[in-house]
Amino acid sequence: MISRRRFVKSAAAISGGVFLRPDWLLGATRQLRIAAIVTEYRPWSHADVLVGKFIQGLKLDITPQWTPIPVRAMYVDQFPETDLSRSLSRQYGFPIVKTIAEAILDEQGRIAVDAVVLVGEHGKYPENERGQQLYPRRRFFEETVAAFNKAGTVVPVFNDKHLAPRWEDGRWMYETARAMKIPFMAGSSLPLAWRRPWLEIPIGTPMDEALSVGYGGLEAYGFHALETLQCMVERRSGGETGVVAVQCLEKGAVWEAMRAGRFSRELLAAALKRNSPSIEGDFEKLCTDPTAYLIEYADGFKATCLMLNGLARQFLFAARLRGDTSPVSTQFWLQEPTFGHFDYLANAIMTMVRTGASPYPVERTVLTTGILSTAMDSRFEGHRRIETPDMRIAYQPVDHDLGAYRHPQATNARDGGWVELFNGKDLDGWRENRFAHRPQWEILGGVLRASGGQGYLATLEEFADFELFAEVRISDVAGGHGNSGIYIRCQPHLDRAKEFPPGYEVQCDHNDSRNFTGSIYNLGVTGASAPKPRARDGEWFTLRILARANHLQSWVNGEPAADCTDPQERCRRGYILLQQHHKTGVSEFRQVRIRRLTTDAVGS
């Protein structure tokens, strides 16, 4: 244990500029390496599925890649009969050392690695009266800090899962890392896993309520369900404000809370439809032993984490975004038995090693650590509501492309790169916005049909450079002419009362002489206006759109339409929108598919 006196002295030394900047910030060109500190290393342990990526390489749903950042040394706390660490040590040439300090420091007491990866999960460790497994995560961190103190410098640290079983230990680790200016990263692989369907809530979106669903052990898997929830709700308007109270409920009290309106049955139904297979019916009868973690945030927002053992078998999420007509929901898909989701976590850790900074806020996991510890306290103490004044930890979320659902190479590997935005059955993957005369969107015989007023559907997924193909039909029931459009690279629409957000509109109107079908509507640059197409109202036509950097092209029924560049590059990334233009108009879409583009040229 590091004494308070020594800790304060260390922090003072840092603020006084005594701590040195390590090699990874000095432009050194040598091979990057990590120290792996694990409880045990057996098949399918966290050490195996996470540290193994540093030893044996990554895949990321595409061609396997040799690890760019190998293990220099490993400390193993326990050796079960199925231990893998010793055979891997012989095969790959890294030593298994007797102390954590030996894994981090060289013989002269200097930092010999570029990061430390702490995996305090699995192994034979005691359980406290609250049902928490007492893994030695704080001890691992303390001994890492002691090595840093000895060397007089620090390197990035990753802590697998929650910081510690007890909140006071997790908070100490966080405060120590901040005081010593240690680049600190922690958490679950869930926020980086595939999402089915694709869902990333735009940062700053007004959100009314959210919930997540998980399964398994209330602490071990409850943490993953909380990270599933927190990585989404932190993106609400205003950013994260911290947590002021937590309560755990069990069995019938959970369903009583739902009936009392403490969490939404509609949201739960939306989440459970994302389970594989979909779950419908009387949830109360289907799950007789539920557990709920009710969370109150400092800004008044409320969210719920539900552990529904015997009912759900995936991690699920649903939220009501202010102004939307229906909830958004998704499944956080685990790539078992290959554990592919850990590839993305390992890749994120490698990003931290290369840059010297966590790619997303560690405060997310600080909060989930506190929420989980408090929920376990509430359960132990008769399910009472516990106020958490020391968990008012505010932070801002960040966007990144490290998750499977956004990683450019991985997402392009799906179906040869093509993604069906409209599945022919329902509005999965779309958000609806209604204004003016509130249009109706319906699916009839595999055709998406809109009528009755002005509004749009927007994808949940963002795109930068892409090729899009759609089959469209426009008409007007009052004898006028059809009018629709496909908007591309639209910016997040945070105010749902507004009309179309900023972006480019590829026009669908065969009779607008200034902007015929295929035109980049009112862009006002050479090549943005298309010639009159060989298409008529009431007939299906094809629309192909190519967007690369500031170069925009379109084809109508295979014939060139627009070909222009936007010198201002106003929109480089955003959502796809399908427009319904006016009250008597009808817009129909039979196919909408898209593929992301790489830097390679795409033939026209």
Structural domains for the chain: 4-187 (3.40.50.720), 193-333 (3.30.360), 413-596 (2.60.120.560)
Q: Centre a 10 Å sphere on the Cβ of residue 313 and count the other Cβ atoms it contains.
A: 16
Tokens 């939307």 map to which residue? 324
Q: What is the pLDDT of residue 454?
A: 86
DSSP string, 478-540: TSS---EEEEEEEPP---TTSSSPSSEEEEE-TT-SSS-TT-BTT--STT-SPPPPS--TTS-
DSSP string, 419-452: EES--SSS-TTEEEEE-TT--EEEEETTEEEEES
Task: Show Cβ contacts of residue 15 under 8 Å, excluding neighbours closer than 6 positions.
Answer: none
227-344-302 Cα angle (round to 5): 15
Q: What is the pLDDT of residue 479?
A: 86
**Closest residue by Cα to residue 245 from 386, 344, 428:** 386
Eight-class DSSP state of 201: P
List phi, psi (to 5°) of 560.
Answer: -60, 140
Rounded to an integer, what distance in angstroms lies between the CA atom of residue 510 and that of residue 533?
7
465-466-469 Cα angle (round to 5): 160
- Burial of residue 446 (number of CB atoms within 10 Å: 0-12, 13-18, 19+): exposed
Tokens 């620090």 map to which residue? 154
Q: What is the pLDDT of residue 58?
A: 85
pTM reported for the whole predicted model = 0.86
Residues of the chain with pLDDT under 70: 1-29, 63-65, 408-409, 411-416, 434-437, 492-499, 598-604
Buried b (16+ CB within 10 A) or exposed e, 101-128: bbbbbeeeeebbbbbbbbbbbbbebeee
Rounded to an integer, what distance in angstroms lies between the CA atom of residue 53 and that of residue 66?
9
Q: Does an H or E element contain 580, and which?
A: strand 574-580
Task: Show Cβ contacts of residue 568 under 8 Å, excluding neighbours closer than 6 positions.
Answer: none
List phi, psi (to 5°) of 79.
Answer: -120, 95
Q: What is the pLDDT of residue 127?
A: 96
CB 466 within 8 A of CB 595: yes
pLDDT digits (tens, 9 = 90+) for 369-412: 999 999 999 999 999 999 999 999 999 999 998 998 877 667 66
DSSP string, 359-382: SS-THHHHHHHHHHHHHHHHHHTT
Q: What is the pLDDT of residue 384?
A: 98
List phi, psi (to 5°) of 28.
Answer: -65, 145
Instruction: End-to-end CA distance of the chain: give it in Å, rounded.
Output: 66
Rounded to an integer, what distance in angstroms lies between the CA atom of residue 545 and that of residue 556?
9
Rounded to an integer, what distance in angstroms lies between the CA atom of residue 363 and that of residue 171?
10
Query: Which structure tokens are listed for 183?
Result: 């680049």
Q: Does an H or E element contain 275, and which?
A: none
- Burial of residue 26 (number of CB atoms within 10 Å: 0-12, 13-18, 19+): exposed
CA 191 remoteness from chain centre: 4
- E strand residue ranges, 216-360: 243-250, 291-297, 302-307, 315-321, 328-333
In three-state secondary structure terms, 581 is coil
Buried b (16+ CB within 10 A) or exposed e, 458-484: bbbbbbbbbbbebbbbbbbeeeeebbb
Q: What is the pLDDT of residue 26?
A: 43
